[in-house]
Structures are given as structure tokens and as C-alpha cells.
Amino acid sequence: MHENELWYSYKEGDVKALEGLYERYYTPLTNYGFKFTPDNACIEESMQFLFLKLWQNRERIARPAVVKQYLYLSFRRILLRKLEYSPSRHEEELTGEHIPFHLELSYEHPLIRKERMTELSVKVGSLLATLTNRQREAVFLKYYENLSYEEIADIMHMSIGGTYKLIYHALERLREQFGDFTLLLILYVLKRP
């Protein structure tokens, strides 16, 4: 069943449809959560809270334009609140740079042979470490989760123009420091499962 059909059925009170959304988004959302914290219990509680609130508020929640975007935005908000990174009025905190975001490659990545994985993983990790937390998060959402700039802007509480600039500056920083081929390799690796 398509996610829009699942959403419609869930809104009509079908608990199986909510379970379908949960099953479809459990792994991607928890993977996203681990980029913020290694605390499995906190991530799990955030997932449970998200889907509990979805069920309890199903009559008041409007149908989002993009279900995936809505779930990422809601999950991020809940998780960051649990981690005590709630936005405040301070300008420094509104940039979100104080929120850690860790982006690493999996050792099971199919592109890389086992004997080269450690070496490449360290290299790509050091490349990604040159980016700011916000840049890493935006690159992850764009190239790993395939979200649009508009969706990323909404999730990260930014303007669309700010999202374009953030990703552009991240890619430009990588390209300047490490060349076009390395940038293409990183983007290719991020797009792979």
C-alpha cells in the first residue's frame, strides 16, 4: 500500500495502517536518530511517542503534502526535545549548530571491498568531519534520504534558500579540500543502501 493510502486509512481510524507506517519508517527514522545520539532507549522512546501521538491526534492532524517529510520533522522535534536541544530564542542556538549530527559509512556498504573498507571509511569520515553539524545533517537528508530542499528546510527549520546555501557550501567545502572525484565518491556512497 502506498504511504498516502496508509495515511488516509490511518486517519480513518485503521490501526493496521498506522502499523504499516510504523513498519515502513521504523528503520529509516531510527537510523536518522542514531545520527544525533547513540542512546537506543531515547530513540526508541521517541519513536513510540511519535506514533502514540499520531494515533491520539489523528483527527486533528492535517494530511501532509509529503508523509515522509512530516514523519522526519515530527520525529526530529520529539528526539531533540528528549535530548534537551529544544530551540530557544537565542540567535546562536537557532542556527542549530549546537546539535550534534554524526554521519559515518556502514562497513557493509556494497561499493567497497572488505580490505579497502577500513581505509576508505576513515578517509570519508575525516572528509565529513570537516563539515559543520548542520551541513552533515543536510547532506544526509539530501543524499541518503533523498528529500527535497523544501522538505529539508521544513525538517531543519530553515528557509529553502538557506537549505540550498547550506548544502552548496558543504559540497563546495568538500570539493575545494578534496577534489571533484572524492566529492562524487562521497555522494555515490551516501546514495547507496
Residue 160 has a CB neighbour count (10 Å cut-off) of 14
Distances 49 to 55, 60, 61 between C-alpha atoms, Å: 10, 17, 15
3-82 is a CATH 1.10.3720.10 domain: no
Return the DSSP state at 64. P
Question: How high does pLDDT run on average in the chain?
Answer: 80
Higher-scoring residue by pLDDT: 31, 119: 31
pLDDT for the residue 138: 92
pLDDT digits (tens, 9 = 90+) for 95-142: 556 677 766 655 454 444 455 556 666 777 777 788 899 998 998 898
pLDDT for the residue 109: 46
Domain boundaries, the chain: 3-82, 106-191
Q: What pTM value is reported for the model?
A: 0.60
3-class secondary structure, 75: helix
**Which residue type sits at 69?**
Q
Higher-scoring residue by pLDDT: 111, 89: 111
Fold of 106-191: Arc Repressor Mutant, subunit A (1.10.10)
**Contact between 137 and 156 (Cβ < 8 Å):** yes
